[in-house]
Copies of this chain bind each other. A is one copy, B any other.
Amino acid sequence: MSSAPITPDAVADALVALRERAPLVHAVTNYVTAGFTANVLLAAGASAAMVDNRDEAALFAGVADAVLINLGTPHDTADVYHAAARGAQEAGTPWVLDPIGAGGLPWRGALAAELLQYRPAAVRGNASEIIGLHGLTGDDGPGGRGGQGRGVDSSDDPADAVPAAVGLLEWAGAVSASGAVDHVVSPAGTTRITGGSVLLTRVTGTGCSLGALVAAYCAAAPDVGLAVAAAHTHVTVAADVAAERASSPGSFAVAYLDALHEVSPDEVRRRARLEHDA
């Protein structure tokens, strides 16, 4: 697989492409953060539809430009996730797996692992989720451990999730572990994205909506590794801008949506702090 270099110029170009394409993301996600996720997609320049019922989920995976499957609030919905993922695979629509809680909740971890069979373009999670999901694929043998997450929060550092992320490349085109420093792993190597704000952890849905934005970029960028890095860079720069305007979570969330919308390709290029190890 050839791959695009992951540079400030390349992520800025991906932002231009995102806004030109305005991809429609079919988000099969949780009810807690669905509204915020839609607002993040709209602010960033994409579009959103949540079509998560048995009768339409698979069909719509062939209509949309990208699909997100986020396991934040599974109910009796395993068949819907399978239908959406299979529908995306069959239609050739890129899809992203966000294995919320796979770090600490075995039942949904197993569900997330099953979905890897449909070959997601990308997996995005926090460090505990990436470690936990990888452990469930059986690849790390008897010495493997689950992630140390507690519910939906991570207790692991993204850097420690890199080996698990590399292992998951057997299933996915790229894998990211989000956190204080985001780590994006693809066949081209590992990219570290620095910046953002601790206030991101005081607003619900910043991780979930990032997963959706990864899906949007997968429909706009020429390469999945670049797409994932560009999505993380977009939100990191927006959070940097928002943190300059607001210092408490209510006003930070508003400023963050504003900044996702306002940030120009030039600003992304100038502010991006990317380190790449091939």
Nearest chain-B residue to A152 (Cβ)? B49
Contact residues, A203-247 vs B (CB, 8 A): 203-205
Fill in one digit per residue for A2-33: 1 if any B CB lies within 8 Å of its CB, else 0: 00000000000000000000001010001111
Fill in one digit per residue for A90-102: 1 if any B CB lies within 8 Å of its CB, else 0: 0000000000010
Q: Could you say which residues of chain B place their CB within 8 Å of the CB of A59?
A: 105
* Of B73, B150, B204, the contact of A53 (CB 8 Å cutoff): B73
Would you call B204 and A39 a contact (CB within 8 A)? Answer: yes
Stretch at the interface among A81-89, A132-140, A180-188, A248-256: A248-256
Stretch at the interface among A113-121, A156-164, A165-173, A257-265: A257-265
Q: Could you say which residues of chain B place their CB within 8 Å of the CB of A38?
A: 32-33, 204-205
Residue pairs across A and B with Cβ atoms less than 8 A apart, 26 shown, are A24-B151, A30-B50, A31-B31, A32-B38, A33-B35, A39-B249, A39-B250, A39-B253, A42-B201, A42-B202, A47-B153, A51-B73, A51-B105, A52-B73, A52-B75, A53-B74, A54-B76, A55-B108, A60-B151, A63-B150, A248-B259, A249-B257, A250-B253, A250-B257, A251-B257, A253-B257
